[in-house]
Amino acid sequence: MPTNRMIARKESAVYAQVLLEAAQGTGTVFEVAGQLEQANESICGNIDLRTALFDRAIPADARIGVIDEVFDGFDPALLATLGVMVKRDDLGLLGKVADTYTGIAEKALDAVFIDVTTVVALDDGLRDSIKKKYAAQFGCDVLLREHIDPAIMGGIVLSAQGVSIDASVASQLEGTRRVLAQAR
């Protein structure tokens, strides 16, 4: 007998697969992966947006209008998928859909997506260096999703396939703070 978790996994896989097929048709597989992550982070990180999108007292068409407005410029297939998820009250699956999509998109492109967070934009030399190093490690192409975050204060944070390397100044300062606090 299927459990709720099994059903959610299957539904997430269906959304991800349909979205992948649409993105392959337009050649936007990698771009959609980034937009999907961004949509998930925005919805999870903004309580007002989350409340508006999950409030069943608000008609589904109005919630879809919110999605279209907030994510204006995103891939049409992604917007359509989010709309279907709203209509079916499946938006709670968005994190699982994003994770599943990333996995199947990496396989489809024979590449690994690496999230790179820095304080300033990467220059071409550093970008190429990261790609070469991790292409050799993973044995396939590497596609970078670049993020700017002043909160890390300096350094770099790399994340791929659930593994994160945090060489940021903020994490080093936090580690030093913990060591000093324990020394007392």
Rounded to two decimals, the pTM is 0.85
Maximum CA pair distance of the chain? 61
Q: Is the pLDDT of residue 1 over 90?
A: no
Q: Is the pLDDT of residue 56 over 80?
A: yes
Buried b (16+ CB within 10 A) or exposed e, 14-42: ebbebbbebbeeeebbbebbbbbbbbbee
Residue 2's pLDDT is 63
Residue 162's pLDDT is 85
